[in-house]
Amino acid sequence: MKTMDGKKGELVEKLGIHFERKKQMAPVAARIFSYVILTGKQGTTFEDLVSNLCASKSTISTHLNHLQDLKKITYFTKTGDRKKYFIMDHDTMIRDIGNLIEEWKSEQQLHLEIMDFKRDANKNLSDENKFDLQFHESFVEFHDEAIKSINKLKETIVNN
């Protein structure tokens, strides 16, 4: 049984831990997803995953099916070859970016509402008790720029 080694193995672990924390993925699912991402367009087979991730066929199968249900991965086949080659679902990143943008817009809207409230409150407060609005203004400005940048990234992904 061959196992992963070197830089790819380290990155599968690091990226796997990231997905466990950030996307609340099970450890094996996170490693499978990481391995698929790092293998790229050529795809990876079920046998490669069993061998390289040192997990049972049942475990790999369960998590592969779950990742497909979540639309995180998809597969293609090659003529004359019965194997499935798993790759990342291209739309996954686009959906994740869209969700991130919506989350940021929601936070930004909340800060705008807080700023309006504090501006109105400042009209009735003495100078020493007035709310400082600089944090909210900076936060909204940051989100404007971040949303522009992430939309540019999304456009690049869609066009490739």
Place of tokens 């990742």: 67
| pLDDT tens digit sequence for 63-91 | 999 999 999 999 999 999 999 999 999 89
- 131 backbone φψ class: left, alpha, beta (φ>0; ψ -120 to 50): beta
Q: What is the CATH number of domain 6-88?
A: 1.10.10.10
Query: Which pair of tokens denotes residue 24?
Result: 């609340």
Q: How many CA atoms lie within 13 A of 23 on its CB side?
A: 22
Average pLDDT over residues 39-59: 95
| pLDDT tens digit sequence for 86-112 | 999 989 889 989 999 999 999 999 999
Share of the chain above pLDDT 90, in %: 86
Q: How far, in Å, are 85, 97, 126, 138 from residue 46 at the CA level?
A: 8, 28, 69, 48
* 127 CB-near residues (< 8 Å, 6+ apart): none
Query: Which pair of tokens denotes residue 48?
Result: 């490669």
Residue 6: what residue type? G
- Band (157; pLDDT cuts 50, 70, 90): confident
- Band (1; pLDDT cuts 50, 70, 90): very low
| pLDDT tens digit sequence for 112-121 | 999 999 999 9
Per domain, the residue ranges of the chain are 6-88, 91-159
Residue 37: what residue type? I
